[in-house]
């Protein structure tokens, strides 16, 4: 439904409609309901009651980003794998991945969402998961964080043009969260087979604070959106590519993107990121040969 409406309505109209529908959803469920229990393809998950994106999709479809999840499970997750998920949210990726690998470390900055994430780990009887409630960054600091209610997965650290309507349309609550470099928090020599990162514009700062982890990691899957780069992180495509080139040899678009693409060697990382921006954003796999 949202994809159809996005083609018919201007962005401002769509955001207004989402706000109205999210409030209606919350009113029907009840003001005291903080979460909804959903039965998904990979286990039971609690989702925020007001969430009109990830939460709504899990309620109606029982899955979220299933193509991406199936790809990751098939290609990168074995019984011996160790996985780091930066931006774990409620666990739509973390829970099914943890059921298939040796160990998962999940990082989530939003304290309310972190509470649901902890409960989802317990609901699914997972004992190989380490969770940390912090924002991944390039320094040890307390930062302002925008906790969105209608799109909890879009919550983000305040940076750049944070008051752009597309980020602030639901009047997110501003809270203080702890930011830490992951090299310090997790140990820079920890070797993860797979790192997944989706932190709404804070990827640049997080990458700068985890050079040791990136050196040891085999594969990085990261979301790249043009407005996250130029509006929030305020870096160029070349500057972002330069953060990744020292650690990875090649990259490909994640499956499901309907464009002709192949392997991009590290000399073409800037070209790859420009193509991501031209397409409006997508997930990319960076890997070592």
| Structure-token match 């989802």, residue found | 120
User: Residue 263 and residue 238: Cα distance in Å, rounded?
Assistant: 18
Task: Give the model's confidence band at 8: pLDDT under 50 very low, under 70 low, under 90 confident, else very high.
Answer: very low
Q: Express each pLDDT in 129-154 by its tens digit.
A: 999 999 999 999 999 999 998 889 99
pLDDT of res. 14: 58
* Domains identified in the chain and CATH numbers: 65-287 (3.40.50.150)
Q: Express each pLDDT in 227-285 by its tens digit.
A: 999 999 999 999 999 999 999 999 999 876 555 568 999 999 999 999 999 988 999 99
Burial of 178 (0-12, 13-18, 19+ CB in 10 A): middle
User: Residue 83 and residue 76: Cα distance in Å, rounded?
Assistant: 9
Please state, as a whole number, how many other Cβ atoms lie within 10 Å of the Cβ of residue 30: 9
pLDDT value at 49 more than 90: no
Please state whether the predicted TM-score (pTM) of the whole model is above 0.95: no
Q: Express each pLDDT in 185-209 by its tens digit.
A: 999 889 999 999 999 999 999 999 9
Please state, as a whole number, how many other Cβ atoms lie within 10 Å of the Cβ of residue 256: 13
């Amino acid at each position: 439904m949202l994809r159809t409406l996005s083609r018919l309505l201007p962005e401002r109209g769509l955001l207004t409609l989402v706000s109205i529908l999210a409030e209606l959803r919350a009113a029907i469920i009840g003001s005291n309901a903080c979460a909804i229990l959903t039965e998904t393809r990979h286990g039971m998950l609690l989702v925020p009651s007001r969430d009109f994106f990830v939460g709504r999709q899990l309620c109606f479809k029982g899955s979220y980003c299933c193509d991406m999840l199936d790809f990751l499970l098939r290609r990168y997750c074995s019984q011996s794998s160790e996985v780091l998920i930066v931006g774990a949210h409620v666990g739509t990726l973390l829970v099914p991945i943890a059921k298939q690998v040796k160990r998962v470390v999940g990082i989530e900055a939003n304290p309310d969402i972190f509470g649901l994430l902890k409960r989802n780990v317990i609901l699914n009887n997972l004992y190989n998961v380490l969770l940390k409630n912090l924002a991944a960054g390039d320094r040890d600091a307390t930062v302002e964080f925008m906790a969105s209610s209608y799109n909890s997965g879009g919550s983000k650290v305040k940076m750049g043009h944070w008051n752009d309507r597309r980020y602030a349309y639901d009047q997110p609550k501003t809270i203080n969260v702890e930011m830490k470099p992951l090299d310090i928090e997790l140990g820079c020599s920890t070797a993860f087979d797979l790192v997944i990162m989706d932190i709404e514009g804070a990827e640049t700062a997080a990458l700068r604070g985890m050079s040791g982890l990136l050196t040891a990691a085999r594969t990085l899957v990261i979301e790249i959106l043009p407005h996250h780069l130029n509006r929030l992180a305020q870096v160029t495509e070349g500057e972002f590519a330069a953060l990744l080139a020292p650690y990875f040899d090649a990259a490909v678009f994640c499956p499901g993107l309907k464009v002709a693409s192949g392997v991009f060697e590290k000399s073409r990382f800037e070209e790859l990121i420009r193509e991501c921006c031209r397409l409006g954003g997508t997930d990319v796999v960076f890997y070592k040969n």
